[in-house]
Chain A
């Protein structure tokens, strides 16, 4: 009984990512066709060469037909997967295992979400019939519970924490301003973010991820075959996933200052990849900054900061673009919005660019000494979530 991982058995040889924005003129089909076309071109393979497909979408379609129909695939297996906000990463995880198992030579993972056709701001879950006793709070409301709990536990003045959270948003806005695929490309100062009215707890809309449509995709092959397609493959080092049991909602021991699922997924991923000190071994990380307190707490859950210290590291600039460990170099969910099925693959796309030294100069980080990147998703609410952690590297070993 163990999580063995598939370190260095599988590699990514091509990726594509649409612009993330309010694609009023693009349907789910259009976004899928655009992302897949770019990805196939990036890998240098034809559509028919892909043996099996995994489609991640939370709410934009059901079944593999959602992908097979617009792409006119010919007798290929396509599986639609959903795992809350980790949906895109989950599609990739399945594609990687399929190749590692030897079942297929080439597999594709595609993620898409068409959020902006609902007519409402924010993400909207489709209703599953229930007994009517479920919470009605927004995700912003649920994650806003983290800020006062964190401030209280570590004795931080709430106004000071307010500025720390704004600094996280400001950093991600700054990175996103350097990214042509991002939804929001405007720098935001800490002062201007702090001046915004609160909508949930102490959070303003600038503490929340944007809402956008988008798609992204990746082609995976066996590591041994990778150099046939590209001289700069990205190797899969770790794929970890935890579905929480929701006990945080019922257990008075849970104090809203950490996400156990993320910590567990991170530990599993580090074991798979052979990482002992993520803060110094990773070149960068793309984490699920759905709300600013989420990114703060994740720095501790993922082992980048000691417990109770993340706010100081944030203030010290440790996670800035050219800091100690750059976080969300592409601008994160903050700048990209969160098309649920696509986000995990969008994060990987940034690692793909950075680890191959193909990011635009203004946001390219140094990956010569450190060739490892981490992507992280979570979905659900504090105490009741799923979490994915993937680790990727630009060299074997």
Chain B
């Protein structure tokens, strides 16, 4: 694919897409990014004049669900993004080249577009045993990642693996799988967590980065504010049931049939930052809560290590115990309560057996 000097507009015109459709796409993208009406012409201008941004898409320890999600994007159509908007120069699962040919592209991009290409990373590198748990092209993946990150413009950490570590980093994390921002510390990194992230979120971010040549505004955790500044809970269509105090208590009870709030079934919506309840999935068809199941919190740090998906309270595993805050608290308060009762009993007994009115004279 070497045509990185072409513009997006040039490519789609050649594919027979009309100028009218092109502007429709720009307006739609501007809206989905929350940028306002003027941004549409800015996007159009950028896509008409700027050379396409080369993108290297690497895969570490992962399950490829991010890629699976990405190719199901409805707006903008992934065909347009992959083939036209960006110059996807390297992506092992979907590229035609293989073996030495494929590896040659990495070196070529690194040399030719030094400091200009975007490095998209799906999955993360395991660091244990010198990175031997993930070998890619005969070398530990972590070495390849470090090399390609060196000359990149910015890094996109796709999915919860790259952002937080995900299942391979769950305790006890035998391979020492490590999120990207703990390995690469000298490049701007945008985290797009989710297992997988929402397709429209992924394509919109690629659009933003290629259009404006910079990362969007990030929050404290390094996530794009436009998609991760609110919780599932904040825009959940079942929120009125939460405020009313109408909860599903068991699967398949009357409340479940009524579509009440899944809070007591362990829904993690109140602690999960993602756009599912606003953007939804599969072209806006549904999202977990809409299909009757609580949110897992898949876009949150360490979501595998917080106990059952069906409990509100986190399992705490310190000091060799496995209990939640209520169990620990009640045990502590109970023990202190018993101690207090015993102490009171001894005090009373001493007063009764001793001379009246003085414990002191006991001795």
Our verdict on whether A and B bind, yes or no, reads no
Query: Which A residues contact B (CB, under 8 angstroms)?
Result: none
